[in-house]
Structures are given as structure tokens and as C-alpha cells.
Amino acid sequence: MARLNPDNLAHAEELIALYPHRRSALIPILHVLQEQDGYLSEDGMAHVAELVGLEPVEVRGTASFYDMFHFEPVGRYLVAVCTNIACMLQGAYRLLEHAEETLGVAPGGTTADGMFTLEDAECLALCGNAPCVTVNWRFFGDLDPPEFDKLVEDLRSGRLDGEVPAHGTLSRVRRRHALTAGGSAGSASDQAALPNAIQPESDTPESQGPDLPAPGTHLDLSTRRSTTATAVVDAKHLESPK
């Protein structure tokens, strides 16, 4: 499938309505396209260009800047092994070699059954659980070769389908509101242009997402430590200067 299907076309228009300019919705719509097909096709990017008022070359040029976008088909599961220094010191190269042997492909390759594409990642930002891997951008840390084999088996069997969707699905929660900078409510006409709440794609607890504040409400974006990977981090650098 090349162009956005009717459901995703409607989703794209909902995203466009969140921004003052159509082209501002480019990256979110590209994620919708990649969720649909698993990668960005030339016809798909041309369709996105039509929607946001850009030339296809501008869309491709923007998308090519980001590692998360793929221009050729990839496997159902994109497995990225981090080999940056924290993971390297914890055996990442050994883990990557084992992944190559287990999957039968080198980094950049896709298994014959179309299930897995392997990547060598520069940094996945889970240093506290090195060595780490992402599968379709979902984190798995503290992996050794046996744990990696178990992960692959769980993915093949479908036991992780509720946690790891097929490649391209960045988020299973639809955005419902635009955010205004600095908590400013904006003008009445700006607020009136915002779409009504967009309903989640399903009734599962995960898709419901947290209740979001009304447009214009000040949001607390301060950093908080909430995972085992950051539980032991010295947070003095997060304190406000006196």
C-alpha cells in the first residue's frame, strides 16, 4: 500500500488541525505512514507532500535526517543492539555477534521470514541497564546471549504482542490536544480551531492513556526519575540554581 488509507488519511487531517501551519504536521504524519506500511514509500511520501503543501523532495529530505524512518521494507521487528561505551563495557559486541548468529543476518539485514531486521545502534539511552536492546523502540535491558534468545523466542511466539507492536507503531495513544508554549492559552480563535477530543483507537487500557489537561493549561515538564535505569543517578544537576 502506498498512499494513506482512508482511516490514516482521517488521522492525518486530525494531526494537521493541531498546528497553525499544515507543514508543521509533517513528522507526525510520516510516522502514521510508516505505521501503515512499515516504511516510507515514494508514493506514500508524495501523498504526504500533497497533504502538507510541500514538494516530495522536501518530504524525503526531511525524513532522511531521522534514523527512525526507513525507506525500504524492514522486518516486523526492528532489533537494535546498543554498542556505545556503557553497553560496550558490559559486553555489547559479544551480544551483537550472538544476535547475528541467532538471526542469521548482519546489521542492516532482514531474516528470510521477514520477522527481524538487525541494527547496530550508537546509543539507546538506557545506560543503567547495559547492554540494552530496543525492539520497535521498546526497551529491553540487562541482556546476555541466553536472555536475547528468550526475547527472540517470545517475539516469534507472539507472547510479547501486547507489549511490542509491529514495526512502525510509535505510539498506540492518539494525541488529543495541541500544546501551547509557556502555558499560554493563546487567542480565542486559536483555541476554537482546535479539534474535539480524538478518541483512542481501541478500548484497551493502554490505548486510553492518561487524561490530558485542557489546551492552554500550564504543563509541568520537569525531569523526574522513575525507572530502574535512573534510580541510582545523582540528581543534583537537576536542582534549580540558588
Q: Are 118 and 81 in contact (CB under 8 A)?
A: yes
In terms of phi and psi (left: phi > 0; alpha: psi -120 to 50; beta: otherwise), the region of 89 is alpha
Cell numbers that stand for 187 in this block: 487567542
State if pTM tops 0.75: no
Nearest to 24 by CA among 197, 222, 179: 179
- The mean pLDDT value for 147-168 works out to 94
- Name the CATH topology of 77-157: Glutaredoxin (3.40.30)
CA 40 to CA 227: how far, in whole Å? Answer: 33
Structural element, H or E, at residue 117: strand 116-121
pLDDT digit string, tens, across residues 187-236: 444 444 444 433 444 444 444 444 555 666 665 655 444 444 444 444 44
In the prediction, which pLDDT does 66 show? 93
Tell me the sheet residues that pair with 116.
77
- Name the CATH topology of 6-63: Arc Repressor Mutant, subunit A (1.10.10)
What does the radius of gyration of the chain's CA atoms come to, in whole angstroms? 20
pLDDT digit string, tens, across residues 19-44: 999 999 999 999 999 999 999 999 99
- pLDDT-derived band at 155 (thresholds 50, 70, 90) equals very high
Least confident of 105-119, 155-169, 215-229: 215-229
Backbone angles phi, psi at 192, to 5 degrees: -70, -25
Domains 6-63 and 77-157 share a fold: no
CA 105 to CA 117: how far, in whole Å? Answer: 8
The domain limits of the chain are 6-63, 77-157
- pLDDT-derived band at 74 (thresholds 50, 70, 90) equals very high
